[in-house]
Structure 1
Amino acid sequence: MGNLKVGIIGVGLMGHGIAKNVVSKGWALGFLDHPGNQDCSDLIGFGAGRFADKHDLVAASEVVILCVSGTPQVEDVLLGENGILKTVKKGTIIIDCSTAIPSSTEAIAKQAEAAGALFMDAPMTRTPLEAEAGRLNLLVGANPELFARIRPLLETFAENIFHAGGAGAGHKLKLLHNFCSLGMVTLIGEAAACAERGGISPEIFTEVLAKGGGYGAAFDRVSPFLLEGDNSKMKFFISNAHKDLSYYVQMAEDVSAGHQTASGVYGALQSLTDGGFGQGFLSETARYFGDVASKG
C-alpha cells in the first residue's frame, strides 16, 4: 500500500498541508502546477514531482486527491471538456477532499465507476493549521473495502477519520458539520458587532461567552481576533463559507428538510459578500458586520 503513487490537484491552503504530509511520510507524490497553489518549493524538496498537465499527473498516479473549491471545480476536473475521467486508468482511486453538493458527488461516483475508476469523498474539517500538522478530521464516503484499503494514506494527514457511509455520505456529513460550525462563527461575529455598537467591550463580551453557554470551538477560533486582531486561528474565506451554506440549503431542499436557520446564516454571509468582504476571513466577521451596518 505504501508504494502507491499519489497525485494531488489543488495545493491551496488545505491541499498544501495534505501534500506535505503525504510526501514527507514516504509516499511518492506529484502535484498539478496551478496559479492558485501555495508555495510548493518544500514539496519539491521532499521529492514531489510537478506536472503542468492534469492528464499526465493522473497517468503517473495510482491515487488522485482532489482538493479544489467546490462542485463546479470538481465537475470540471473530472467531467469537463478536458476531464480526467476520459483518460483515467482502470483501477485509479479518486479521493475528493473538496466540499461539494452530495447529489453531484453521487452522480460522479457512478460515472467514475463506469470509467473504471474507484471514487470516494473525504471532505475535511479543521483549518490550514491542522492540515499542515497532519491533524485533519476526514469524513469519508466510500464502500467498506475501498475505505479499508486507502485508510493508511488518509492517516498520513488526518488525526480523526469517520466513515459516514457510501459515496456522497462524507459530503452530507461535511455540510451538516459546516452549517453548525460556520453558523456559530457567523453568529458570534454578528453578536460581537452588535456588542461594540452597544458599548459592550470585547473583553467582557468574550469573558462572558467563555464562562457560559456561548463557549466552544467556534469561540476559540474567533476570540483572538475580537481581542487582539489575530485572524490566524481561522483562515477560512467568507466566500467559501457562503458557498458551503448554499450547498447545505440545496442539500436540505433535496431531502425535503427544513432550512430556515441555515437560510438566515446564508443571508448574513450574502450581505458580507455583497459588501465586498468575500475574501476576508470568517474570523473577521465582527469587523465586516460592523462595516455593513455603518454603510446601511
Structure 2
Amino acid sequence: MTKPTVGFIGVGYMGHGMAANILKAGYPLVVVAHRNRQPVDDLVVQGATEAGSIAELAAQCEIIHICVSGSPQVESVVGGEDGIAANAAPGSVVIDCSTSDPVSTLHLAELFAGKGIAMADSPLGGTPANAVDGTLGAMVGTDAETFARIEPVIGCWANNIMHLGPVGMGHKMKLINNFLAMGNAALLSEAMALARKSGLSTAQFHEVIGTSRMRNGFYDTFMKWTLERDENAHRFSITNAHKDMRYLSNLAVSVGAVNPVQSAIRNNFGAMEAAGQGERYVPMMADFIAAMNGLAPEGEQE
C-alpha cells in the first residue's frame, strides 16, 4: 500500500526531529524553508523534497503538519492565495502541532471544512530530544475517521498518542498542560530564591526536593540550568511560555473559568519578557527571580 505524501511546515527545534522520523518510517516528505536553512538541508540529504512555497507544498501533500510558534503564524500559512487552504486538495488533512489558541483553531477548522479539508490539532508533549527519539506525546483533537487516518503518521514521532475528542480539544489540553509546567517553573524559581534569602544553599534545596516526591521530569530538566548551567536542558523560550499563558487566559475567559493562580504565573513570564529576556529559556527564570531578590545567578559571587 502506497504511503501518503506528508508535508511539514516548521522544521525548527521540535519539527526537525519529527520530520526526520517521518522520513525514517518511509513516508514521502515535503518540507519548506523559513528562516534557518540548516534543518531543511539536512532533511533533503535524508531524502525529503523541498518545496519552493507553502502553496507548492500544500498542492502535493495528503497530510500536512504545521509546527510553528503560535496562532498568528499558523493563520499566516493557512490563509491567503498562497496558503494551505487555497491550495490543498479536498480530502487532505492538516495537523496543527503548534501550541495554538483554541478559538483560532476552531475558526480554521471551519475554514478547512468548507473546502473539504479535514483538520486535527495535535500539540506536543516533550522536548526536542523526545522529538529526535520519536517519543513525544500527542494530544489530538479531531473526528474519529480523521484520527484513524493520521494516527500511523503521528506514531512516527510520538509514542503516547491521546485522542481527546473533536478539533480544539488537543490545544485546550496542551494549554492546561503548559499551565502546570510553567507554574512549576515560577514556583521553583521563587522557592529557590526564598531558600537562598533564608540562608539555605541551592545544593541544600536540591538535596531535599530532589530526593522527595516533588521531584519529576520537569524538575530535572529545569534544575539542570541552575545546577549545571546547561542551557540546552529545556530549550523553550520565555516568549513562547508567555504566549501560551496568554492563550490560556483567553481560554479561561471563553469558558468563564476563575484562574487567579494562572494570572500570577502569566505575569511572571510577562515581566521577564518585558525586561528584554524573552529569548532566554524557561529554566533561566530562576536567575530572573533571584535578581529580583537581590541575588546573583547561581555560581556567581554574591
- After TM superposition, the score normalised by the length of structure 2 is 0.93
- Structure 2 gaps of 5+ residues are 296-302
Q: Determine the C-alpha separation between the residues in 1 that align with 2:120 and 2:219.
A: 32
Residue equivalent to 2:281: 281
Q: Determine the C-alpha separation between the residues in 2 that align with 1:136 and 1:128.
A: 9
Q: Determine the C-alpha separation between the residues in 2 that align with 1:206 and 1:2.
A: 52
Q: Determine the C-alpha separation between the residues in 2 that align with 1:182 and 1:39.
A: 28
Q: Is the 8 A contact 2:6 2:62 kept in 1?
A: yes
Q: Determine the C-alpha separation between the residues in 1 that align with 2:71 and 2:196.
A: 37
Q: Determine the C-alpha separation between the residues in 2 that align with 1:200 and 1:238.
A: 27
Q: Determine the C-alpha separation between the residues in 2 that align with 1:26 and 1:84.
A: 24
Q: Is the 8 A contact 1:71 1:101 kept in 2?
A: yes
Residues 1:191 and 2:228 aligned together: no
1:39-59 C-alpha deviation (Å, 9 max, x unpaired): 333311211011221100111
SS of corresponding position for 1:7: strand
Q: Is the 8 A contact 1:239 1:278 kept in 2?
A: yes
Q: Supply the RMSD in Å over aligned alpha carbons.
A: 1.7
Pairwise CA distance, 1:13: 0.4
Which has the higher mean CA deviation after the structures are superposed, 282-291 or 208-217?
208-217
Q: Determine the C-alpha separation between the residues in 2 that align with 1:247 and 1:91.
A: 30
Pairwise CA distance, 1:269: 0.6
- Structure 1 gaps of 5+ residues are none
Residues 1:132 and 2:137 aligned together: no
Residue equivalent to 1:84: 84
Pairwise CA distance, 1:208: 1.2
Identity %: 36
Q: Determine the C-alpha separation between the residues in 2 that align with 1:81 and 1:186.
A: 42
Which has the higher mean CA deviation after the structures are superposed, 26-35 or 185-194?
185-194
Q: Determine the C-alpha separation between the residues in 2 that align with 1:75 and 1:258.
A: 29
Residues 1:97 and 2:94 aligned together: no
Q: Determine the C-alpha separation between the residues in 2 that align with 1:225 and 1:265.
A: 20
Pairwise CA distance, 1:74: 0.9
User: Letter of the aligned partner of 1:62 in structure 2?
Assistant: E
Residue equivalent to 1:235: 235
Pairwise CA distance, 1:37: 5.7
Q: Determine the C-alpha separation between the residues in 2 that align with 1:98 and 1:45.
A: 25
Residue equivalent to 1:71: 71
Q: Determine the C-alpha separation between the residues in 2 that align with 1:181 and 1:35.
A: 28
Q: Is the 8 A contact 2:120 2:141 kept in 1?
A: yes
SS of corresponding position for 1:249: helix
Q: Determine the C-alpha separation between the residues in 1 that align with 2:169 and 2:257.
A: 16
Pairwise CA distance, 1:8: 0.6
1:54-112 C-alpha deviation (Å, 9 max, x unpaired): 10011111111000111111111112464321222111110000011112111111110
SS of corresponding position for 1:275: helix
Which has the higher mean CA deviation after the structures are superposed, 96-105 or 83-92?
83-92
User: Letter of the aligned partner of 2:238 in structure 1?
Assistant: I
Residue equivalent to 2:299: none
Pairwise CA distance, 1:229: 1.0
Residues 1:249 and 2:261 aligned together: no
Residue equivalent to 1:107: 107
Pairwise CA distance, 1:233: 2.3
Q: Determine the C-alpha separation between the residues in 2 that align with 1:42 and 1:2.
A: 25
Q: Is the 8 A contact 2:30 2:57 kept in 1?
A: yes
Residue equivalent to 1:165: 165
1:150-181 C-alpha deviation (Å, 9 max, x unpaired): 11111000010000100001101111111011
Residue equivalent to 1:260: 260
Q: Determine the C-alpha separation between the residues in 2 that align with 1:228 and 1:89.
A: 50
Q: Is the 8 A contact 1:16 1:38 kept in 2?
A: no
Tell me how many residue pairs correspond in the alignment. Answer: 295
1:126-146 C-alpha deviation (Å, 9 max, x unpaired): 111101111000000010111
Residue equivalent to 2:220: 220
Pairwise CA distance, 1:240: 0.6
User: Letter of the aligned partner of 1:267 in structure 2?
Assistant: N
Q: Is the 8 A contact 2:80 2:86 kept in 1?
A: no
Residue equivalent to 1:46: 46
